[in-house]
Amino acid sequence: MNVLVTGGTGSFGKHFVRAVLESYKPERLIVYSRDELKQFFLRQQYPVELYPNLRMVLGDVRDRDRLYRVLDGIDIVVHAAAMKQVPAAEYNPLEAIKTNILGAANIVDAAIDRKVRKVLALSTDKAANPVNLYGATKLCSDKLFVAANGAGFYDTQFSVVRYGNVVGSRGSVIPYFLAQRPTKKLTITDPRMTRFLITLPQAVQFVLDSIHAMRGGEIWVPKIPSVRIQDLARVMGPDCEQEIIGIRPGEKLHEVLISEDDARLALELDDRFIIQPTHSFWRHSDEDWSGRGTRCPDGYRYASDTNTQWLNDREIAALVATVETDPLSEHPAITEPRFVVGG
């Protein structure tokens, strides 16, 4: 297989590259991103002499022509590139639209025309009942990828994975608290706030599993635990003061991965949910997942505050330790370059 990951030098991308190189033997694994310095650092970890199948390609998902060139001969695309910082999107809305929506449209067109077999796009809880621009752009992106299956003229399959807060990713809460901890003060937006948590290795494995299982049109949602942000702060900084600073623009008190409206289309499996599309191509197809899971009841809502799975103090401490010891994490105490051959 020839695999390409957009945003391949980001938090998810680096863990995806490590997992694929350690567990699979792709003919080519192409990292497509626009940051030459991050590509340089990633290449130091995986020297070309030892990893000749790993390629680094500079480019932007906004650049349609570049995508057409780089997707030639590709079998699988994992679309992880996004403008994802909520405040940045609020202040630069058109930039977020260009990357998250128009970039997704470019991926769809290029993948179809280059006869890519499978495209799996990464989404976010913020796309469920969005209250900020980032969530709205990712909802639009999800709609583009799901609808791309509906024409019936192409062999390319498109699906989406949607999960919550990624432990250790750039801009997420644990690296944020780790950076604040030496000051003996942790800032909390609201003491009632809850979040879903998933580790980067778990997110990568969920994506790999979804690539194997996807038929085109699904939104895959993992079952993951919740945490109270105040509990997270208490475990991470037992001797730190907690300062309440108020919810930021575009922020939610609780995360929602499946809304009441999505639940009408959702099936529950042992370790995940599948949100099936409403398009007629799915309902009149043998690819329908009905009969392979349990339909979610009317009014069901999969949210971080009503979740049945919660992290205890020991589990929280273990998660924090994974961020502090992972050489690929975005912990601010770990600086690049990181010369770790083979991950």
245, 189 contact by CB (below 8 A): yes
Q: Which CATH code for domain 2-164+199-222+257-299?
A: 3.40.50.720
Those residues of the chain that have pLDDT short of 50 are: 284, 286, 332-343
- The first and second tokens of residue 60, run together, are 């932007």
CA distance 185 to 183: 5
- Which residues are known catalytic residues? 126
CA distance 312 to 231: 9
Q: Give CA separation, 160 vs 74, 167, 324, in Å.
A: 18, 20, 30
185, 243 contact by CB (below 8 A): yes
Instruction: Provide the CA 119 distance to its chain's centre, in angstroms.
Output: 14
What is the predicted pLDDT for the residue at 107? 98
- The first and second tokens of residue 137, run together, are 């752009």
